[in-house]
Chain A
Amino acid sequence: MRAQDRERALHAVQSRVIRRALAGDLEGLLADAVFVEQQRVHELPEGEERDANIAFWQRVRRALASSSREEREAVLADVVARYARAMAGNLDDRLFGFARKVVPPAMALLLGTSSPKLLVRGFRRDLEAIVTVDGETEALRRISRLGSVMVAPTHQSNLDSVLVGWALARLGLPPFLYAAASNLFEVPVFGRIMKNMGAYRVDRNRTDQLYTGVLREYATVSLELGYTNLVFPGGARSRSGAIDPHTQLDLLGTGLSAYQNCLAARAARRVFVVPCVLSYRLVLEAEWLIEDYLKGEGRSRYLITEDELPQPRRLMDFAANALSLDARIYVTFGAPLDPFGNPVDSEGRSVDPRGRPVDTELYVARDGVLDQDAQRDGEYTRELGEALRRAQLRGNVIYSTHVLARAAMNLFRRRHPGLDLYMLLRACGREPLLDLGLVYGEVDRIMGELGPLAGSGALRIDPSVARSSAEELVRDALRTFVSYHSRPAVRRAGAELVAAAPNLLLYYSNRLEGYPLHV
């Protein structure tokens, strides 16, 4: 946030969170914060910061134990101020301008030069050559002049925020803010890029209500002040590889809160939500994400064998291998929505599915008076999440890797009917061979279904895939898998395919979930 807005915003955030806390269960909120913080603080490395933290939280504990309400109120103000200040990032227009110029070549360098082959050639790839920004970019530009914009992308990789940031800058949009996990700030180069580009720090270990309240309010206030916000409606990166239904709606709901606050203040500011899809043919953290998915979904049924976390080094490998292919990454923007999930027309007015104007004030006000109802607002936001997911499914670009993975999974499913997912994956590992002829047939069948879907705008197919035969598609996918994953999802062995990493097959095939496809 810019320096001139920062203090104003912090003041608004603190006073709102404190007002709500005082009206609610103050002791419960503080006790919750103490409990979460004490665990977090003990995991900090020894040193001054840790000692200062321990001392602070001990003071909060004492205040909580004391009988004086005044003392508890004073300590509440301190806790909220502490949270808010730790979160607030700096958005310096000069720095942002600098970042805008420097980031693309820096990213390209980072993404391109770790391949010795490219270095030798002296080839400096620009992000322009790797990333395509498309979709409703004109509408995005237009509505960003009419109100505050929340950009809501799919989330697959830690690269996402930088890519969307770059795409927005390239479209000439004003500086934007986004919440980023605090551990990402520690990654060299990456962390600095993020900070300069408006990231504010969110500590995922802090789960207490006061902290999440501050986070929510910070995003709300920034929208009220006119900042563009980047919000991942899925919350974390998709574990399954699919465009999952959005369930972490807390930050997404800030659009509706900002809209209602503006209505209450009789401010003319409008809030828009723009769906966005990031399409990669390979995903940087695929192995780790799908392991986490299987662990979470199957709980005790699935034993994780190795714990692989994405490291900066992996980023380099990913970059060198995946991006030196002639693979494009797509950043696709969808048509803008209002905070209720209605489409908006070119003037920024909300319209119904038939294009007729909708007076959205009536959703939240009766006889001109705002009507508070948290349950109702939660439902509106859930509907917005559904509308976003539908738009993201439409903007999703399908690559050869997804089609081949889907074909292989389908063939395994048919070979082992009735097995649940975990048994099936184990079976794929035991009998990994698939006849290539069968695979080509299944690829053709899937492409036969995808073609009409793409034709009706339900999804998109990478042009190189749309043009190729089943043999070419399979060859391209195999080459792509081998280029990055140490154990590719599938590899060729004579006239057969071997499912070398069934989990990855599942991960990439899941990108075709959410569409009316036959299994």
Chain B
Amino acid sequence: MSETVGVLGAGRMGRALCRWVLRAGHRVLLWDRSGSQIPARLALDPADRVEVAASAAEVAAAVRTILVGLPASAVGPVFETMGARLRADHEILHTSKGVAPGFRLVSELIRAECGARQIAALGGPLLATELEEGNPLAVVVASRFDRFVARLRGLLADGRTWLFGSRDLVGLEIAGAMRNVSAIAMGICEGADVSETSRALILTRGLLEAARIGAHFGADRDTFIGLGGVGDLVARRQATYSRNFRLGARLAAGDDCAKVAQELAAEVEGVVTARAAADLADRTGLTLAVASAVDRVCRGAPARAEIDALLSTELPLGPSARLL
């Protein structure tokens, strides 16, 4: 049955979400910071069933299900403005691939602003451009509520997107956020001309670090070897055009992180996540060598030296080391 679905954000991911909802046969109520310029940016066809809302709160008041195409840093402030309109039965699906300082997950940021509990994350090898074009995709939707996952699978069925369900919301959020840290690491490797074998080592260690953080937050280890973990990394490894990857490559060339981020004209979520992970490692004693190295490079440390140190670091003993 056709219904109106709310979409927040008209950036790359927001546009992709709009197209997806339309393909699944629904109408969209869209909000973005840029306001009235949205239709032009979206190149909306008059026949498209997209309406533009004046505020995020208006979206909350009008629909039951909201898809969030905002970066992690925008989620808290936007939900703060919507909070009064959000009801206990609102359903929220977010696509952010980042965390807030203090390693606060996006679902936590949403929970902090409202009483809604039906919160899900979208993860896996999800490239916004492919989703927008309607290429066949396999993605993971995770929520602690089985019926909500089932509902989203029904709501977003477009005949081209495979939606796998999971209960491990926290695990999927962590895997997604840490994937961007790995993307920066791969960019650094590209810029520093690191061998393929060494890249594979760093990528694998990055994944283990994500799983380690997952264990710390009570996530399921299997999430990290599934579509939301390895699957996402493989897709990202191929996608050399991602912002995080490009940032990494520029950092390896000695460019300043803030300057590059400004040039990319968009938020590079991996930078914030690497910082939060390095803090977490410092606080808890978790071994997060790749994330900490990425963080140091983002803050101006020479890339080559960090890569060399990373490749010569002796691994701690334990079951995860055996996997290497």
> CB within 8 Å of B: which residues of A?
245, 340, 342, 350-354, 356, 358-363, 366, 373, 375-376, 379-380, 382-383, 418, 516, 518-519
Contacts and interface: CB of A to CB of B under 8 A. Distances in A.
Contacts of B218: 245
B158 interface: no
8 contacts: A351-B115, A353-B112, A356-B115, A362-B89, A363-B89, A375-B147, A376-B145, A376-B146
Classify the secondary structure of A's interface with B: loop
Interface string B68-89: 0000000000001001100111
- Which of the listed residues A340, A361, A363 has the most CB atoms from chain B within 10 Å of its own CB? A363
Given A353-B113, A418-B316, A518 B283 contact: yes
B314 to A, nearest CB: 11
B285 A362 contact: no
B261 interface: no
Given A352-B113, A359-B87, A362-B88, 10 more contacts: A353-B113, A354-B80, A354-B113, A356-B83, A359-B88, A360-B115, A373-B147, A375-B145, A375-B147, A376-B147
A519 B89 CA distance: 41
A120 B71 CA distance: 72
B26 interface: no
Interface string B47-91: 000000000000000000000000000000000100110011100
Contacts of A373: 147
Nearest to A338: B115
A420 to B, nearest CB: 8
B27 interface: no
Closest 6 CB pairs of A and B: A358-B115, A362-B88, A362-B89, A352-B115, A519-B285, A379-B144
Interface string B85-115: 0011100000000000000000000011111
Contacts of B144: 379, 382
A379 B145 contact: yes
Contact of B87 (A353, A354, A362, A376): A362
A382 B145 CA distance: 12
B117 interface: yes
B229 to A, nearest CB: 23
A517 to B, nearest CB: 8
A519 B284 contact: yes
Contacts of A360: 88, 115
B117 A363 contact: yes
A361 B218 CA distance: 29
Contacts of B283: 516, 518
B265 interface: no
Nearest to A413: B285
A342 B115 CA distance: 8
Contacts of A375: 145-147
A376 B117 CA distance: 10
A516 B279 CA distance: 11
Nearest to B83: A354
Contacts of B112: 353
B43 interface: no
A358 B285 contact: no
A498 B177 CA distance: 45
Contacts of B117: 340, 363, 379-380, 383
A137 to B, nearest CB: 26
B317 interface: yes
Interface residues of B, number: 23
Given A375-B147, A376-B145, A418-B317, A353 B111 contact: yes
A376 B88 CA distance: 14
A362 B145 CA distance: 15
Contacts of A352: 83, 113-115
A519 B284 CA distance: 7
A373 B118 CA distance: 14
Contacts of B83: 352, 354, 356
A358 B88 contact: yes
Nearest to A519: B285
B220 to A, nearest CB: 14
A120 to B, nearest CB: 51
A518 B218 CA distance: 19
Nearest to B143: A379
Given A363-B117, A379-B144, A356 B84 contact: yes
B163 to A, nearest CB: 18
B143 to A, nearest CB: 9
- Which of the listed residues A358, A359, A519 has the most CB atoms from chain B within 10 Å of its own CB? A358
A45 B11 CA distance: 74
- Which of the listed residues B89, B112, B316 has the most CB atoms from chain A within 10 Å of its own CB? B89
B172 to A, nearest CB: 16
A366 B284 contact: no
A356 B57 CA distance: 15
B284 to A, nearest CB: 7
Contacts of A359: 87-88
Interface in B272-295: 282-285
B213 to A, nearest CB: 15
Nearest to B86: A352
B145 A363 contact: no
Contacts of A518: 282-283, 285
Contact of B115 (A350, A376, A382, A516): A350
Nearest to B89: A362
Nearest to A386: B218
A102 to B, nearest CB: 45
A137 B2 CA distance: 51
Contacts of A380: 117
Contacts of A519: 284-285
Contacts of B80: 354
A432 B113 CA distance: 50
B101 to A, nearest CB: 13
A356 B89 CA distance: 15
A263 to B, nearest CB: 13
B310 to A, nearest CB: 19
A372 B146 CA distance: 13
Contacts of A245: 218
A351 B146 CA distance: 25
Nearest to A516: B283
Nearest to B84: A356
B155 to A, nearest CB: 15
B99 to A, nearest CB: 16
A50 B88 CA distance: 53
Contacts of A379: 117, 144-145
B65 to A, nearest CB: 14
A209 to B, nearest CB: 21
Nearest to B85: A356
Nearest to A363: B88
A412 B56 CA distance: 53
B89 A366 contact: yes
A512 to B, nearest CB: 13
Nearest to B316: A418
